[in-house]
Amino acid sequence: MTRVTYASPADDEAASSRFRVCFVCSGNICRSPMAEVVFRDLAEKAGIGDRVVSSSAGTGDWHVGEPADRRAIMALHRRGYDGATHRARQFEPEWFDEQDLVVALDHSHRRILDHWAGTSENRAKIAMLMDFAPHGGASRDVPDPYYSDDAMFDTVLDLIERACAGLVRQLEPALKHEPRRQPRTHTAS
């Protein structure tokens, strides 16, 4: 299993040549950190771990700097993942420039991200996580387990694993055969 780190992809020079995915939920302590960890692990197992960078953030700032919820860490741990080093962050609109894909965990996150996107190019980078789940589902939303029990965190992790597996399957053919992307260059304004 890959050791998870949570630095911003914008801070990683090497990240600019990799496909960048940011998972977004409300406070960045439950759903999005679980998605980040699961996606990274599945990408590594699929042989594309060196071609992707995953991160996560929240739409709100009330948990910035805090670790993931203990129940999220425990749900991940029960399945062999490590989310212990996570620290919550709030998504910043300028991050769209650094991302190839911004994945919303529910419709409320999608609405906020659409508003923050500012351009049609940035809006085109936004997707719903459950849209990647094979055979769809009753809902496109991953439910928020924060006010629930440990069992709900396991249920949410089931959904996240299924959807992240679909996302990796979709990216895998292109990333395995794609030549290394050139790092992006940024000009100061």
Active-site residue flag, 100: no
| DSSP string across 65-84 | TPPPPHHHHHHHHHTT---T
DSSP state of 139: -
Identified catalytic residue from 18, 20, 31, 71? 31
DSSP state of 101: E
Identified catalytic residue from 82, 131, 144, 154? 144
Active-site residue flag, 30: no
Token pair for residue 155? 């249920």
Cβ neighbours of 32 (radius 10 Å)? 33
- SS3 helix, strand, coil % of the chain, rounded to 5? 45, 10, 40
Identified catalytic residue from 18, 22, 25, 106? 25
| Amino acid letter for position 41 | D
| Amino acid letter for position 149 | D
* Residues noted as catalytic: 25, 31, 144
